[in-house]
């Protein structure tokens, strides 16, 4: 004679539906992560997207965002995802935004670090980060 009692290892209906929901959620997140990684890898391997500023235009735009008491000279430039070129954890901008990071040398007076309460040194280099497509200012780092 068969027993009509449910198996002892079976979860209640509510618990099993939560487990099923969590499995689907984890699977969706894994798929989303794989798609994002594949898209990033594809973009990195194929170069930068079309329609962005040329290197010369990016350098010209970056020079407009900093003031130097000496002539500005370019020391290098890189284009790529903001995540690799200046993004910080506290930054509200997307780390996947494509940007130019232009390194400039000059004399940048009055740019103090938070730790320099009583003394402000003159910076001799700056890294200007601008949007890859339209040249809008994103951030600047002085060093």
**Does residue 37 sit in the same domain as residue 60?**
no
Q: For the chain, how far is it from start to end, CA to CA, in angstroms?
A: 83
d(CA 30, CA 114): 40
What integer pLDDT is reported at residue 61 of this predicted model? 95
**Does residue 77 sit in the same domain as residue 118?**
yes
**Does residue 30 sit in the same domain as residue 80?**
no
**Does residue 97 sit in the same domain as residue 131?**
yes
Range of the domain at 22: 12-47
Q: Which two tokens stand for residue 91?
A: 């930054």
Question: Would 2 be classed as within a structural domain?
Answer: no
Question: pTM, whole model, 2 decimals?
Answer: 0.63
Q: Write the DSSP symbol of residue 7.
A: P
What integer pLDDT is reported at residue 121 of this predicted model? 73
Question: Would 117 be classed as within a structural domain?
Answer: yes
**Which among 47, 46, 9 is positioned nearest to 132, based on CA atoms?**
47
Grouped pLDDT means (10 residues each) for the chain, 143 residues: 58 68 89 77 64 92 92 92 83 86 89 65 89 93 85
**Does residue 63 sit in the same domain as residue 40?**
no
**Does residue 68 sit in the same domain as residue 109?**
yes
**Which among 107, 143, 109 is positioned nearest to 126, based on CA atoms?**
143
């Amino acid at each position: 004679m068969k027993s009509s009692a449910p198996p002892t290892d079976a979860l209640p209906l509510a618990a099993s539906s939560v487990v099923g929901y969590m499995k689907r959620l984890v699977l969706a997140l894994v798929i989303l992560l794989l798609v994002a990684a594949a898209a990033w890898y594809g973009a990195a391997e194929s170069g930068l997207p079309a329609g962005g500023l040329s290197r010369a235009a990016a350098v010209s735009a970056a020079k407009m965002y900093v003031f130097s008491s000496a002539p500005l000279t370019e020391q290098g430039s890189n284009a790529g995802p903001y995540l690799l070129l200046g993004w910080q954890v506290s930054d509200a901008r997307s780390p996947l935004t494509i940007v130019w990071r232009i390194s400039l040398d000059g004399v940048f007076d009055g740019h103090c670090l938070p730790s320099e309460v009583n003394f402000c040194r003159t910076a001799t280099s700056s890294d200007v980060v601008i949007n890859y497509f339209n040249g809008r200012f994103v951030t600047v780092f002085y060093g």
